[in-house]
Amino acid sequence: MPAAPTSPIDRHALPDAAGHFGQFGGVYVPETLMTALQELAAAYERAKADPAYVSELRRHLKEFAGRPTELYFAERLTAHCGGARIYFKREDLLHTGAHKINNAIGQVLLALRMGKKRIIAETGAGQHGVATAAVCAKFGLQCVIYMGAVDMERQALNVFRMRLMGAEVRGVEAGQKTLKDAVNEAMRDWVTNVRDTHYILGSALGAHPYPMMVRDFHRVIGQEAKEQILVREGRLPDEIVACVGGGSNAIGVFFDFLQDPAVKLIGVEAGGRGITRGEHAARFEGGKLGVLQGSKTYILQNPDGQIELTHSVSAGLDYAAIGPEHAYYRDIGRISYAYATDDEVMETFQLVSRLEGIIPALESTHAIVEGLKRAKALSKDKLVLINLSGRGDKDVNQVAKLLGVSLR
Ligand SMILES: *Cc1c(COP(=O)(O)O)cnc(C)c1O
């Protein structure tokens, strides 16, 4: 048995050596992948401790991705709400439009160190696929992206972007033909080609070491935000809000505040059309403990353990399982979770565009919905920091359609 962490939120102790965050996480994969995951974990531990890797990562995050991202005071939204001062952490300004590039760069550099020549990834909305394709093009690596056939149709523009950057996009016709099925196909490919192939998982999900590794690559969000808010306001924020699909942007912004008990941390899930079976993707609203795609966590499933259908206006939050680290911090009460519905998101998407001149991703808008509610309830001397995980350019067609606006 690995040693128990010395404190429930000891950042150095979680996960344990077998990838557990308390009862969550772990490695639930076929025997054929165990060696690959152990090699990956070992390579990652070595890389993390190597100053050459760390400085190369920093350089590409700056030159290619555009870090550090700004901390932005949302002045008109603050006035509109009449309460706490609202800040956005501008991950939407990163290359390819969202935080996902942080992880893609980190993992590609790791794959290069491991001598892998071929990269595979899954994608739902296409954002992780685009980030991965971009980084693979930059480093001249072969890139195969698995994507559900339904998602390919919904996100045709992102499919074209990936192909422009030299990636092969393989449609998946199994199951619901969406993200979960794309993950299954990617795992199947990895089992077959594990010698020369690295699988870049796109969120803080899956078997160990992925949830830990992906979190670590996104920690830079919270580290920068902490420094920036201290410079701007001379103190830490009162509340930090982030949307939670698999949970990577959220754990990235939260992680370096976990040991600041005065800072409230709030994750926001997709409430879809409301909390009824099949109409949402809020795993903490009716999800149960189970194992999906390598990890033990909260999952939306029926009494027989079949994965429920999920729905959200934002494809990036539309997944039946939540990252295991979130399940842990929710259980011990360190992070709380809320949800935003499609209707709330559509309204706030337009409000933020109009008041701030920033079109947020529909995913990020979930965080803004909750952030605005909280800012309204707080006094003017309080600070609410919202992680703006991505930009909404990818969403404008869908929003136009939902608003009944014809673009031609
Ligand atoms: C993919 C995506 C998300 C959801 O993924 P997490 O791993 O939960 O962060 C959120 N926002 C944007 C803009 C995304 O592209």
Among protein residues, the one with the nearest Cα to ligand 1's atom 5 is: 245
Task: Check residue 1 and give its pLDDT.
Answer: 34
| 10: pLDDT strictly greater than 80 | no
**Mean of pLDDT values over 317-322:** 94
Q: Answer whether 336's CB lies under 8 Å from 42's CB.
A: no
Measured CA to CA in angstroms, residue 183 lies from 55, 201, 211 at distances of 31, 9, 15
Under the banding of pLDDT at 50, 70 and 90, the label for residue 123 is very high
Q: Could you confirm whether domain 20-62+100-210 is CATH 3.90.1330.10?
A: no
* CB 248 near ligand 1, within 6 Å: yes
Task: Check residue 176 and give its pLDDT.
Answer: 87
Rounded Cα distance, 172 and 152, in Å = 9
Going by the DSSP 8-state scheme, the letter that residue 73 receives in this structure is E
- Is it true that 20-62+100-210 and 69-97+218-403 share their CATH fold? yes
Rounded Cα distance, 268 and 335, in Å = 11
* CB 95 near ligand 1, within 6 Å: no
Task: Check residue 12 and give its pLDDT.
Answer: 57
What are the E-state strand segments in 212-324? Answer: 239-243, 264-272, 288-292, 294-299
Task: Check residue 11 and give its pLDDT.
Answer: 54
Under the banding of pLDDT at 50, 70 and 90, the label for residue 408 is confident
* CB 314 near ligand 1, within 6 Å: no
Residue with tokens 């296409």: 126
Going by the DSSP 8-state scheme, the letter that residue 77 receives in this structure is H
| 6: pLDDT strictly greater than 60 | no
Structure tokens at 209: 């070491």
Distance 247 CA to ligand 1 centre (A): 7
Which atom of ligand 1 sits closest to the CA of residue 249? 9
3-state secondary structure of 281: strand
Report the residue count for the chain. 408
Residue with tokens 């300004």: 93
List of residues 6+ apart from 275 with CB closer than 8 A: 282, 285, 286, 339
| 182: pLDDT strictly greater than 50 | yes
Q: Which residues are catalytic?
A: 100, 122, 389
Task: Check residue 13 and give its pLDDT.
Answer: 72
Rounded Cα distance, 123 and 316, in Å = 9
Rounded Cα distance, 203 and 215, in Å = 8
Q: Answer whether 236's CB lies under 8 Å from 226's CB.
A: yes
**Mean of pLDDT values over 239-245:** 98
Rounded Cα distance, 384 and 123, in Å = 31
Helices (H), 194-332: 210-233, 248-254, 324-331
* CB 97 near ligand 1, within 6 Å: no
**Which of 88, 317, 366, 395 to mutate to test ligand 1, by most ligand atoms within 8 A of the CB atom?**
317
3-state secondary structure of 25: strand
| Architecture in CATH of 69-97+218-403 | 3-Layer(aba) Sandwich (3.40)
* CB 246 near ligand 1, within 6 Å: yes
Backbone angles phi, psi at 153, to 5 degrees: -70, -40
- Residue 33: Cβ within 10 Å count: 18
Question: Considering the chain, what is the average pLDDT of its residues?
Answer: 95
Task: Check residue 358 and give its pLDDT.
Answer: 98
3-state secondary structure of 170: strand
Buried b (16+ CB within 10 A) or exposed e, 250-272: bbbbbbbbbeeeebbbbbbbbbb
pLDDT one-digit tens code per residue, 224-234: 999 999 999 99
Closest CA to 268 of 290, 296, 247, 239: 247
Beta-strand pair 239-243/197-200: unpaired
pLDDT one-digit tens code per residue, 256-271: 999 999 999 999 999 9
Distance 249 CA to ligand 1 centre (A): 6
Q: What is the DSSP string of 88-103?
A: EEEGGGSGGGBTHHHH
Structure tokens at 108: 């590609």
Q: Answer whether 383's CB lies under 8 Å from 233's CB.
A: yes
Q: Domain segments of the chain: what residues?
A: 20-62+100-210, 69-97+218-403
| 3: pLDDT strictly greater than 60 | no
Q: In sequence order, what are the beta bridge partners of 388? A: 90
Structure tokens at 281: 């993707």
Which atom of ligand 1 sits closest to the CA of residue 205? 7
- Residue 332: Cβ within 10 Å count: 11
Q: Answer whether 9's CB lies under 8 Å from 258's CB.
A: yes
3-state secondary structure of 157: helix
Q: Count the alpha carbons within 13 Å of 62 in the hemisphere toward its beta carbon.
A: 7
**Mean of pLDDT values over 127-145:** 98
| 249: pLDDT strictly greater than 80 | yes
Rounded Cα distance, 5 and 311, in Å = 37
pLDDT one-digit tens code per residue, 187-213: 999 999 999 999 999 999 999 999 999
pLDDT one-digit tens code per residue, 347-398: 999 999 999 999 999 999 999 999 999 999 999 999 999 999 999 999 999 9
Percent of the chain with pLDDT over 90: 94
Distance 244 CA to ligand 1 centre (A): 7
**Mean of pLDDT values over 331-353:** 98
* CB 244 near ligand 1, within 6 Å: yes
pLDDT one-digit tens code per residue, 18-62: 999 999 999 999 999 999 999 999 999 999 999 999 999 999 999
| Higher pLDDT among residues 99 and 11, named by residue | 99
**Mean of pLDDT values over 92-119:** 98
Which atom of ligand 1 sits closest to the CA of residue 317? 4
Task: Check residue 2 and give its pLDDT.
Answer: 38
3-state secondary structure of 122: strand
3-state secondary structure of 196: coil
